[in-house]
């Protein structure tokens, strides 16, 4: 197993730790930031999420730079991304920081795109992620990070930056999903 795949696996192994941090009632205290309270455990979970998110860029960069792209990596990398983002969004619902309907739309788009990719794979085609899909991912990761940090540092001025990022991520999720299907509809028309 090469280094990029090991980095991707580390992201997958960080997910249960992230989930435990946000579901087990640790009493590690909290900080008051502006008019917001930031539990220490939420801060640690946010830092872990940011670290796990950063490994997505690191493994991809390393694999491309050293020509270490493998079929295992092509499978593990998007799966790790979807598991991390899905876990974070579901936990944010439980924490009452994100409306469930937004998460349903985001996860539904991921299922639909994955389904289209499976149909394409059955036809021997590989459908790459588009630039808009990558931008969607950046906004989703940023929104989750800021929300886990209870809107820090914007809580000082009462600016709902996390919510704004979330709605931009939602819009990009919908638009990129529609764009992906329009560009790749030939796969559905050509399948047997």
Whether 191 shows a pLDDT value over 70: the answer reads no
Find the helix or strand (DSSP H, E) in which 39 lies: strand 36-39
CB 49 within 8 A of CB 145: yes
DSSP assignments along 137-191, one per residue? HHHHHHHHHHHHTTTTTGGGTT--HHHHHHHHHHHHHHHHHHHHHHHHHHHHHH-
Structure tokens at 118: 């499976």
Whether 55 shows a pLDDT value over 80: the answer reads yes
Average pLDDT of the residues in 21-38: 86
Mind listing the pLDDT tens digit for each residue in 70-121? Answer: 888 888 888 899 999 999 999 999 999 999 999 999 999 999 998 898 888 8
Q: Count the neighbouring beta carbons within 10 Å of the beta carbon of residue 128.
A: 7
The pLDDT of residue 157 is: 74
Average pLDDT of the residues in 31-49: 88
Whether 192 shows a pLDDT value over 70: the answer reads no
SS3 82: helix
- Total structural domains in the chain? 1
Question: CB under 8 Å to 58, separation ≥6 — which residues?
Answer: 7
What is the CATH classification number for the domain harbouring 30? Answer: 1.20.120.1760
Specify the higher pLDDT residue, 156 or 78. Answer: 78
Average pLDDT of the residues in 124-144: 88
Whether 189 shows a pLDDT value over 80: the answer reads no
Band of pLDDT at residue 1, cut at 50, 70 and 90: confident
SS3 120: helix
Paired with 36 in beta bridges are 33
Q: What are phi and psi of 39, to 5 degrees?
A: -60, 140
Residue 109 lies in domain? 3-190
Whether 190 shows a pLDDT value over 70: the answer reads no
User: What percentage of residues in the chain have a pLDDT greater than 90?
Assistant: 59
Helices (H), 24-155: 40-65, 71-94, 100-122, 131-148
């Amino acid at each position: 197993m090469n280094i990029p795949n090991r980095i991707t696996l580390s992201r997958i192994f960080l997910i249960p730790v992230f989930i435990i941090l946000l579901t087990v009632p640790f009493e590690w205290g909290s900080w008051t930031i502006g008019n917001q309270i930031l539990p220490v455990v939420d801060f640690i979970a946010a830092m872990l999420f940011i670290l796990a998110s950063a490994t997505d860029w690191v493994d991809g960069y390393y694999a491309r730079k050293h020509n270490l792209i493998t079929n295992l990596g092509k499978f593990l990398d998007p799966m790790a991304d979807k598991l991390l983002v899905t876990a974070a969004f579901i936990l944010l619902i439980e924490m009452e920081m994100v409306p469930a309907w937004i998460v349903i739309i985001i996860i539904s788009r991921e299922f639909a795109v994955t389904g289209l990719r499976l149909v394409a794979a059955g036809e021997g085609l590989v459908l790459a992620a588009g630039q808009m899909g990558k931008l969607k991912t950046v906004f989703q990761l940023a929104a989750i990070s800021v929300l886990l940090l209870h809107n820090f540092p914007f809580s000082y001025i009462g600016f709902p930056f996390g919510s704004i990022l979330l709605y931009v991520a939602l819009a990009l999720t919908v638009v990129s999903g529609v764009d992906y299907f329009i560009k790749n509809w030939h796969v559905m028309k050509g399948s047997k």
